[in-house]
Amino acid sequence: MKKLISIFVLIPFVTGIFAQMQTVAVEYDSPYQYEKRANGLCVRAKLNPGRSVKNVRATFNDTSIEIVSENSAYSLWLPLIGNRGVLKVFEDNSKSLIAEQVYTPLIPRDWGYFQQGVIHIISSSHQDIAWMNTPDTCRHERIYDIIVPAMKMMEADKEYAFGMEQTLNLMEFLDEFPERKGEVAQLYREGRFTWGATFNQPYEGLESGEQLVRQAYFGRKWIKENLPGCDDITAYNIDVPGRTLQMPQILAKSGIKNLFISRMREGFYDWHSPDGSKVFTYTPGNYGWAIMFWKFFDDGAVNAFHKLHERSVLWSDYFRERNIPPHYAVVLSTDASGPSNYSKVVEEWNRIADMAEVPLPRLRHTTATAYFETVNVPASRLEKVSGERPICGFTFTGRRTTRQ
């Protein structure tokens, strides 16, 4: 990937930031080539001075860096991890300066509160009973295009995890493949394939109290009775903006501890009913943005580090002030989406973290329930939310305080 640098202009790039005296072309290997060198973990790049020179030497923050002549171009090993500094290129081992420019390593050194934390990839598939087709067609697609491929991924990769969002999908799968019940139960017990503690994801304000109670009756209760040793304590209601007054009470008294929602401000909440019962609630903001817009993992681990560093800057204070453990979640889910396995990115990310001279956060696949259990600690100070949230867009009308 080649970056052209113009005189007196400072231009930010995803892969670096440069400003310099004259036009110079710097090109990283694609894919990135990085390894331990004399000056630490470095990434290989090619520098074209733009004119004929005999020899070239280079420094970064006045420390020599390795550079090798390759015909009319030069290969140099730039720091992969670090802070912005000054890169200088000289001609003929003299003080004749070819270029002086600002360079920012591809992976920032400072990750704030998440320096030694974990970034969790929560892969799931948002499912309506029917979406863009008949219920029978959608049922067939989620069984054969989503659930079966996800289970194949788990067979090949023991670290991969995936989740559906409602027990109805589990019932559908076992109705189609009753002989795979033992396999499903084993993956469930291992915490690698979870299904959601409610029957489906209702518009809460449109159902009676009895209907809402039956969400847990045909959800968590059905799982416990039909899959020995299995349980689910996380309810999903991802795409429905409305919340009702008593739903936290229904969930809590059904033994469901967690609520995974969307369509409200990203963060963690204690959602209360009037009787004082509550459910621990998490929302990523919008469940589909990481796949549709941010695409954190689509360009390899180095670029994933660069993109996710912004999240560490945005969220360090929020997690620190509320005493939430340094575990950030990236939710990969869209309507009727299939499983996304970023195991190669995970492996490369953690390999870089192992080689780095400074602590860096780790990356892993996980489930919503495992993530909830990690971040919901007794010492945390979460926003308390109560009241109803009507089905009329994105405005919340309840009361907020802070759990002390």
**Residue-level pLDDT at 14:** 31
Other CB atoms within a 10 A radius of the CB of residue 132 amount to 10
- What stretch of H or E contains 76? strand 73-79
Digit-coded pLDDT (tens) for 172-214: 999 999 999 999 999 999 999 999 999 999 999 889 999 999 9
pTM as predicted: 0.88
Q: How confident is the model at residue 389 (pLDDT cuts 50, 70, 90)?
A: confident
Round to whole Å and give the CA distance between 163 and 95. Answer: 60
Mean pLDDT lowest among 41-50, 76-85, 367-376, 387-396: 387-396
Q: What percent of the chain has pLDDT over 70?
A: 87
Q: How confident is the model at residue 51 (pLDDT cuts 50, 70, 90)?
A: low
Phi-psi region of 299 (alpha: psi -120 to 50; beta: other; left: phi over 0): alpha
Dig out the tokens for 302 from the structure: 């180095």
Q: Is the pLDDT at 283 greater than 80, yes or no?
A: yes
Digit-coded pLDDT (tens) for 221-261: 999 999 999 999 999 999 988 889 999 999 999 999 999 99
Dig out the tokens for 343 from the structure: 């195991």
- Residue ranges, comma separated, of all CATH 3.20.110.10 domains in the chain are 112-402
Rounded mean pLDDT of 91-113?
Answer: 86
Q: Over the range 324-340, which residues count as b (16 or more CB within 10 Å of their CB) and which as e?
A: bbbbbbbbbbbebbbbb
Q: Of residues 75 and 185, which shows the higher confidence score? A: 185
Rounded mean pLDDT of 359-388?
Answer: 96
**What's the CATH number for 112-402?**
3.20.110.10
**Residue-level pLDDT at 72:** 66
Q: Is the pLDDT at 343 greater than 80, yes or no?
A: yes
Nearest one of 142, 189, 145 to 169, comparing CA atoms: 142
Q: Are 269 and 383 in contact (CB under 8 A)?
A: yes
Residue carrying structure tokens 């970023």: 342
Mean pLDDT of the chain: 88
Q: Of residues 144 and 132, which shows the higher confidence score? A: 144
Nearest one of 332, 319, 381 to 114, comparing CA atoms: 319
Round to whole Å and give the CA distance between 389 and 36. Answer: 53
**Residue-level pLDDT at 391:** 57
Nearest one of 25, 60, 62 to 42, comparing CA atoms: 60
Straight-line distance from the first to the last Cα atom of the chain, in angstroms, rounded to the nearest whole number: 50
Rounded mean pLDDT of 296-300?
Answer: 96
**Residue-level pLDDT at 113:** 98
User: Would you tell me the crossing angle of helices 167-176 and 181-189 to the nearest 10 degrees?
Assistant: 150
Q: Is the pLDDT at 394 greater than 70, yes or no?
A: no
Alpha carbon 120 to chain centroid distance?
6
SS3 content of the chain, % helix, strand, coil (to 5): 30, 30, 40
**Residue-level pLDDT at 396:** 40
Nearest one of 120, 119, 116 to 360, comparing CA atoms: 116
Q: How confident is the model at residue 25 (pLDDT cuts 50, 70, 90)?
A: low
Q: Are 19 and 99 in contact (CB under 8 A)?
A: no
**Cα separations (Å) of 325 from 50, 56, 317?**
50, 48, 12
**Residue-level pLDDT at 94:** 65
Residue carrying structure tokens 């015909």: 71
- Residue ranges, comma separated, of all CATH 2.60.40 domains in the chain are 2-108
Paired strand residues for 86: 102
Q: Is the pLDDT at 10 greater than 90, yes or no?
A: no
Domain 2-108 has CATH 1.10.3470: no
Round to whole Å and give the CA distance between 346 and 364. Answer: 6
Q: Of residues 72 and 102, which shows the higher confidence score? A: 102
